[in-house]
Chains A and B, each alone.
Chain A
């Protein structure tokens, strides 16, 4: 494949996603979508960002992190402080949310990434809990009773963030830097002995993933009127994890599809939270026993339309 061809696919998908954006925007401003559907669309967008960012950490780099809600929380609170306490514009608050989450990613990542597998999972879980407990104990952000946030999240913000997330992750993955991360997932010892600075790339994946989750946190906080530490517990991390696992560890489009699918399911089961959790957990168990590679495995959505042997990761923005 030549550069030209690749660039063509790229611009085509940008064009398609712009058309998609305009359609939704027109529907919103034309009053065709009631607030319930609008809210669902925002949630889908936020969940796509979360799924894609965790995909980079687990699916690409193979670092089993189950404290992703911690980064979401850091981003949500940091950006809420920016808009509510310091009266900064929304854009700045999103950026700060992302940066603070990335910082948290570095702080937790640098020491814990020496750990492997199960131990890393538990350490990240512990990190998520620590974030929640710290927030619970800070009066400045309202402690257990939460923090009031104004509703600033709109479709253009969500769309732009989703597009940014998917472009960043896609571009990162299909480059030598992404291959370095995949090689760590495949065999860390071999990657190390082939000249890959494994610690560096693990930390990079953690930081980028945390940054994007932080942006999602900003959008999340300003999509509701209040944020509570209890929104960011282990169950939230689990919700994000299931997107990545269900979609197929290693598949960006799988994670995105799963995020869309499960957000819709969740919205329909909103009044039956127990049923939802029972279905989720059963799906997870049965999936692990019968199809541990997830819906798409490591394949991308687009690869189904290509000849066998075609290049794997290409433009998946079209489905975002």
Chain B
């Protein structure tokens, strides 16, 4: 029964990874950039949620929405200011910029409000335990999982049924052709950043409620792991990011359950290196070859 409990924990954690991974994967799919700052958008989301709940005294759902909106705007600003001028630059230049933006957000945050952590109030959501078939599961775990699933379903709808979703798919397939077909590529890229960042913001709020403690450097490790999740599922593939995130969460929970909790942070990177070596296109990806 211990095992099942750990699995549930893993799925909750994994759904946070999945939400962040979606932003990585969408952005990579469309501009071929590893947006290192994405983990920090997640951090900003956690803080916006925190202040909404404590200062504005809002309940969970409005706080979640505010956080998503603020992060969406923030993501678009990052893209317009830092990444857009580099769209035709080398990959290395873009990657270095992304690292720079990430550090700027982290240390800018510390500069503004200090490095001290904050604690989410623990009465945002009921914390009762629910017994299912002899396994006690916290209602928070279920709620997190539920919220994540709802957001992913909405995302699927946006990507497959709306005009902007079609534009996103077209641009990620071939930006030049999309432009010729009259799609506004700049707006589509901005929309992608907005959606991805909103999901990261939501992940930040959920993280705060689940793990209580938040601080300005909290985005680094979950951000990197979410990237691992995106690679695991096949970068650029939206369902891949979801599955990759959940899978990574479960793997970590199982490693902890096996008594290696101190090694937990290392597992993600071992998974990353293994997947890069043996199946660099990811679980769901197709093998691509370079044109010579």
Contacts and interface: CB of A to CB of B under 8 A. Distances in A.
Do A and B have CB atoms closer than 8 angstroms in the complex? yes
Interface of A: 58, 64, 66, 108, 111-112, 114-115, 117-119, 121-123, 125-127, 129-130, 133-134, 136-137, 189, 234, 238, 241, 245, 249, 274-275, 277-278, 280-282, 284-285, 288-289, 292
B86 A122 contact: no
B86 A136 contact: no
Contact of B90 (A136, A282, A292): A292
28 contacts: A111-B273, A112-B273, A115-B276, A121-B34, A122-B34, A122-B231, A123-B272, A125-B224, A126-B268, A126-B273, A127-B273, A129-B224, A130-B266, A130-B270, A130-B273, A133-B265, A245-B96, A249-B92, A274-B110, A275-B111, A277-B106, A281-B101, A282-B104, A285-B104, A288-B89, A288-B94, A292-B86, A292-B90
Contact of B103 (A114, A238, A288, A292): A238
A147 to B, nearest CB: 17
Given A125-B224, A292-B89, A284 B273 contact: no
B263 interface: yes
Interface residues of B, number: 45
Contacts, number: 117
Interface of B: 32, 34, 82, 85-86, 89-97, 99-104, 106-108, 110-111, 115, 220, 224, 227-228, 231, 262-263, 265-266, 268-270, 272-273, 276-277, 280, 290, 292
A134 B266 contact: yes
A136 B264 CA distance: 12
Given A123-B273, A281-B103, A285-B82, A136 B262 contact: yes
B96 A278 contact: no
B227 A122 contact: yes
Contacts of B86: 288-289, 292
A64 B110 contact: no
A130 B269 contact: yes
A194 to B, nearest CB: 14
Nearest to A64: B92
A125 B110 CA distance: 24
Given A119-B276, A277-B107, A285-B100, 16 more contacts: A66-B99, A121-B95, A123-B273, A126-B270, A126-B273, A129-B266, A130-B273, A133-B269, A137-B263, A189-B292, A280-B100, A284-B96, A284-B99, A288-B89, A288-B97, A289-B86
